């Protein structure tokens, strides 16, 4: 299916974009921007920011919407943490987004690696705000608890699509409920929680509103809504493209239902405008205290 005209965006020409790519290549670090073929990579790299991908570049799950490499990953490396610490400090970031592949091969689902990085960032850069886009850590509460010893400022975990379409995107139906429980757990611990949905997979407006309500019921404060794009022929196809007006309508509806902040648009991804969304929610919450 051909992309509509509103998906056209210029090929990056900013020198900062190429410098950022070079820095990442030389450091040996991975970003979800590159591994998942994010359409905003040009914009973010030009602003010298990225969503860092930890625990390697190989995922143990085979979701049908994702272009990240699948297979048997290598053991976690301390050097990866050290290199990310150096990169974030060198870039002078005041807001960092960290995500990872899913590591069902590890008994803790990889949460220990997250924790080492968070502790390192807190020690080296105490004023840095951190957002983590986490997997479900095998759905085990004892794994979720570990992250609380050095919690992020924003805990992001995407439900990705409506419940009915989970088999279509090659996810067990049970993972929808599991994801809601992840978000409920961290919301109840007082963290700002965030989640995201892709549209254009065959969902109805009513199903989207139902997913919004599910997320609100578990305490999610920030919602992202973006157009699904088929990255490779191995990924599930696009059902349809939403118009910019439809994204605006979904944002209006989500705000009406009660989300504190909503970022909605054709090219929106989980970490798009992440710092701005966090600041708005944090400011609103501080006024309530």
Encode pLDDT of 33-69 as tens digits. Answer: 554 455 655 555 545 456 788 998 899 998 888 878 8
User: Which of 95-109, 114-128, 205-219, 227-241 has the least mean pLDDT?
Assistant: 227-241
CA distance 24 to 30: 7
Domain ranges of the chain: 5-288
Total-model pTM: 0.90
pLDDT band at 19 (very low <50, low <70, confident <90, very high): low
Between the alpha carbon of residue 212 and those of residues 140, 187, 188, 217, 219, the distances in Å are: 24, 16, 18, 9, 11
CA distance 244 to 27: 37
DSSP string, 124-150: H-TT-EEEEE---GGG-HHHHHHGGGS
DSSP string, 33-48: HHHTT-TTHHHHHHTT
- What the block records as the tokens of 178 is 């599991």
Summarize the confidence of residues 260-271 as an average pLDDT. 92
pLDDT band at 11 (very low <50, low <70, confident <90, very high): low
Is the pLDDT assigned to residue 109 strictly greater than 70? yes
The winner for highest mean pLDDT among 98-102, 166-170, 183-187 is: 183-187
Q: What pLDDT score was predicted for residue 51?
A: 79
**Class of the 5-288 domain?**
alpha beta
Q: What pLDDT score was predicted for residue 72?
A: 92
| 161 CB burial (10 A radius; 0-12, 13-18, 19+) | buried
Are 261 and 221 within 8 A, CB to CB?
A: yes
pLDDT cut 70: percent of the chain above it: 84
Q: What pLDDT score was predicted for residue 35?
A: 46
Q: What pLDDT score was predicted for residue 153?
A: 97
Q: What pLDDT score was predicted for residue 44?
A: 58
Summarize the confidence of residues 246-253 as an average pLDDT. 98
CA distance 7 to 15: 23
Summarize the confidence of residues 143-171 as an average pLDDT. 96
Q: What is the mean pLDDT of the chain?
A: 88
Q: What pLDDT score was predicted for residue 186?
A: 98
- What the block records as the tokens of 237 is 């196809």
Beta 58-59 vs 222-227: how paired, if at all?
A: unpaired
Is the pLDDT assigned to residue 195 strictly greater than 60? yes
């Amino acid at each position: 299916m051909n992309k509509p005209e509103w998906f056209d965006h210029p090929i990056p020409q900013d020198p900062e974009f190429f410098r950022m790519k070079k820095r990442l290549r030389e450091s040996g670090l991975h970003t979800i921007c590159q591994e998942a073929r994010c359409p905003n990579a040009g914009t973010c790299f030009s602003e010298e920011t990225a969503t860092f991908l930890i625990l390697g570049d190989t995922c143990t799950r085979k979701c049908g919407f994702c272009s990240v490499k699948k297979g048997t990953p290598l053991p976690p490396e301390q050097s990866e943490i050290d290199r990310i610490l150096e990169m974030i400090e060198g870039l002078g970031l005041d807001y960092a987004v960290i995500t990872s592949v899913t590591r069902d091969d590890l008994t803790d689902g990889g949460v220990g690696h997250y924790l080492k990085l968070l502790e390192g960032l807190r020690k080296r850069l105490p004023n840095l705000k951190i957002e983590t886009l986490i997997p479900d850590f095998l759905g085990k509460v004892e794994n979720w608890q570990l992250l609380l010893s050095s919690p992020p400022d924003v805990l992001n975990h995407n439900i990705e699509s409506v419940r009915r379409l989970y088999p279509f995107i090659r996810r067990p139906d049970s993972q929808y409920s599991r994801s809601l429980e992840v978000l409920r757990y961290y919301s109840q611990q007082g963290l700002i929680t965030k989640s995201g949905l892709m549209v254009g997979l065959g969902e109805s407006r009513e199903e989207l509103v139902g997913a919004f309500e599910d997320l609100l019921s578990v305490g999610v404060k920030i919602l992202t809504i973006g157009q699904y794009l088929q990255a490779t022929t191995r990924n599930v196809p696009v059902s349809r493209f939403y118009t910019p007006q439809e994204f605006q309508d979904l944002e209006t509806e989500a705000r009406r239902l009660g989300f504190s902040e909503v970022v909605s648009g054709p090219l929106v991804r989980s970490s798009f405008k992440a710092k701005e969304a966090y600041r708005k929610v944090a400011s609103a919450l501080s006024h309530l205290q």
